[in-house]
Amino acid sequence: MSDAWQRLVPKLEELSHLRAAGTLLSWDQAVLMPPKGAPARAGTLATIETIAHERLTDPELGDLIEALASDTTLDEGQAANVRVLKRDHFKALRLPPALVAELARARGVAYEAWTEARPASDFRILQPHLERLVSLKIEEADALGYEEERYDALLDHYEPGMTTRRVEELFGGLVEGLRPLVEDAIPPEAERPAWLEQPFEALQQDRLCRWLVSSIGFSFEGGRLDSSPHPFTSSIGPGDVRQTIRTQPNALLPSIYAALHETGHALYEQGIPDSFVGLPAGSAPSLGMHESQSRLWENLVGRRRSFTDFLLPHVKERFPAELGTVSPDEFHLGVNYPERTTIRIYADELTYNLHIAMRLEIELALFRNELDVADLPDAWDAGMEEHLGIRPRDDGDGVLQDVHWSMGLQGYFPTYTLGNIYSAAFYNKAEEELGGLDDDFHNGDVSRLLGWLREKIHSQAYLYQASELAEKVVGQQVSPEPLLEYLKEKYTSLT
């Protein structure tokens, strides 16, 4: 084994431990930490991120990376780790340590402001913190550098190799294809199925979700399921993958499909080989690729007729009074009921990507200096009316509904739609190679599909760039067409 590699391993382990500590503290902040702990937690996270940044920019680490970059004795996994580490190292070198620390502090404070602002439906509570955060993100993007525009540097955090130009091309074709489908499928006024909104006891919702995530392969020996204001999944380290959901007193489906969505993320993390976990290449190659797995389980599996037929008896078992008379047809329609909603996480598959397209337009305007943070509520409401034909009733249903901006995740939103595009292409390929998946789902058996995903995607970790991995799996460059065809077929049959 290479001497340089042996010297590199302890440094990788230390970086892994620092990142795990930061991830765990962030998870705790969202799930368990009392609100008054926010200022101290922001400082703690800033310290950890500063130390990690120092380790990542260590000149000795740079020397090892350069020595290993041309080492032909490395195996495929080692070479991938060096490639990813080199990318991270040179990006970190461009960021001043003071900026890294200030970003961590600003994120912590802004997140807590968001947890107060959203229930109060008052953007003014978040505004000064978000202004500071956006200013810092501009500094970050300019420090990192970019070829075409500032947003490229932010997008590259989550979609390495992707450009704003390419995202706008993909979104343009998708939105153009979605608009007529939305107009045909969603009448101006329609009555929602009555069973969708009624009291559903929170404890039973939680028990149902725990059964559901286990039934599709999530291991509770290597993970947790908790509650948080905004559902998310975190991988703390080997054998410790944590996901959260949120229950609502008068709705059942949001918790069910949040659980399926987050379990898609969690299955990916639990499927990465142990030999990679914690190393630079021990992750998904992009968040769009990660999102492809959550969207596949939530939508391509969870909302198809064969799966809803399997699911309904188990739901009725826990909510006999509420759903005892609901037929399989009614349940399937309710699960896929098309409607214009102001809330992204409750949007149907047909309108969901219009929510993301609107957010992309707003983010681009912010970082092209065409929009001020103070004007976000008005821009949000106007964008919602343009894309969805409706306006939010207040800031809580509008500009404050997502946690992402308060966490400094500008550049993140496009990954949701990229994930949807990947998911449809992957599911088509899985059905082509395996066949008979609907028969499996009728019986609650997802093992063949999960095995296929483990082999084709999860086990590959970050051996390849996302676009390269997708092309290897599908056999051609991925486009919006499979997603548009899937949505057209589904919503034509529903109406």
Catalytic residues: 262
Alpha-carbon span 96 to 343, nearest angstrom: 37
Smallest Cα–Cα separation from 363: which of 203, 157, 178, 119?
Answer: 157
Smallest Cα–Cα separation from 154: which of 16, 43, 12, 287?
Answer: 287
Q: What is the DSSP string of 189-244?
A: S-PPPGGGSS---HHHHHHHHHHHHHHTT--GGGEEEEE-SS--EEEEETTEEEEE
Residue 251 has φ and ψ, to the nearest 5°, of: -155, 140
Alpha-carbon span 196 to 80, nearest angstrom: 47
Q: Is the dihedral of CA 57, 58, 59, 64 positive or negative?
A: negative
For residue 226, what are the β-bridge partners? 244
Alpha-carbon span 316 to 38, nearest angstrom: 41
Contact (Cβ atoms closer than 8 angstroms) between residue 337 and residue 192: yes
Q: What is the DSSP string of 78-107?
A: HHHHHHHHHHHHHHHHTS-HHHHHHHHHHH
223-227/240-245 β-pairing: parallel
Alpha-carbon span 448 to 401, nearest angstrom: 37
Q: How many CB atoms lie within 10 A of CB 194?
A: 10
What's 300's DSSP letter?
Answer: I
DSSP-based three-state secondary structure for 283: coil
Token couple for 96: 């001043």
Alpha-carbon span 21 to 43, nearest angstrom: 14
